[in-house]
Structure 1
Amino acid sequence: MRLAYLSEHPALAPAVAAAQSAAFAHQLPDWSQAQALAELRTHTGTRTIPTTLLALDGERWLGTVSLLENDHDRIRDYSPWLATLVVRDDMRGRGIGTALVRRCVEDARALGIVTLYLYCVLSLVDYYARLGWTVVARVHVVAVASGDDVFVMAFDCSAQRHGIDPA
């Protein structure tokens, strides 16, 4: 497995958009595959905001994560965001998500970001907590189809965590 930027593999954007929109359909029912693809097409740089990272096996994508300025119109008190972490169903449990999260944190640190945020549902809080993220808020987001609250989590990019040395 190797990590690369979507901007270096633009032909994979439609497949990634399909996976992202499907993975988050229960939370964001109005976010279409076409919207996801349009957003991904703006991720033209490397180690910048916005950008999308890919985990690849040859030219096959295994997982993806994005670094965004804003991730939800109803949660504007926090920025920037680690967003849309998706690992193919057949590739889960192999550390791909963890590698993508760590690389996204490294990129954020290189950009001078002190605190990086994400939001997730309750069932994912423990996963991110094991990676060093801390819950900072519980937010009711009406647009979330499940009707559940989401949890905003923060990562201190300036601290040494899980083998990532501070810049």
Structure 2
Amino acid sequence: MSNKPTLTLLKHYPEHIPEIAKWHFQEWGELFPEKSEADFASDLAATLNDGTVPLSWVLMLDEQVVGTASILLDDMQTNRDLSPWLANIYLAPAARGKGLGKWLVQQVMLQAQQLGLTKLYLFTEDKPEFYQQFGWQPLKQERYEGTLVTIMYWHN
């Protein structure tokens, strides 16, 4: 990496919402069959806050948006009793394999602590081991939109 990555609130880069919505729709659209790419964009627009959940961040590298992360009040049609959620952990394909995912998750966990959040949830299709290295614990598995997912929690 020629430059250090930075984490910046999405509210400072709203012009990137269409591109990010396309990434998220391509990555997770099958888990949200009722949502269109435009719905993903409006969900992102709802996170243009500062200091209050829901929040989204962009991972910048060499002045390019290469990743995203969010903390949302809810992230599933089920498990509405659990909140808030770490969500939208996404790296553009060219940014993968460089340790940026670990950096991104750690930075957002720090942001959560600074916001006074004592517990977070997430769900993952295939990466529970990735999150366990940061202290996340499996809560349960369930079939969600036809896909087996692991719901995990973290508390500080």
CA contact (8 A) 1:54 1:100 kept: no
Equivalent residue, structure 2, for 1:164? none
State TM-score, norm by structure 2.
0.90
Report how many residues are paired: 152
Aligned residues: CA RMSD: 1.4
Equivalent residue, structure 2, for 1:151? 150
Partner residue of 2:123 out of 119, 122, 133: 119
Q: Give the superposition deviation at 1:57.
A: 2.2
Distance 2:34 2:127 in 1: 22
Q: Deviations over 1:73-104 (max 9, x none)?
A: 21212110000111001110112222221122
Among all aligned residue pairs of Structure 1 and Structure 2, give the percentage whose two residues are the same amino acid: 28
- The structure 1 segments of at least 4 consecutive aligned residues displaced by more than 6 Å after TM superposition are none
Equivalent residue, structure 1, for 2:103? 99
Q: Give the superposition deviation at 1:58.
A: 4.1
Alignment of 1:2-151 (within 5 A): 2-121=6-125, 123-141=126-144, 144=145, 147-151=146-150
Q: Specify the code of the residue in structure 2 equivalent to 1:104.
A: V
> 82-91 vs 51-60, which deviates more?
51-60
Give the gaps of 5 or more residues in structure 2.
none
Give the gaps of 5 or more residues in structure 1.
159-167
Q: Give the superposition deviation at 1:5.
A: 0.8
Q: Specify the code of the residue in structure 2 equivalent to 1:127.
A: F
CA contact (8 A) 1:2 1:56 kept: yes
CA contact (8 A) 1:5 1:51 kept: yes
SS at match of 1:77: coil
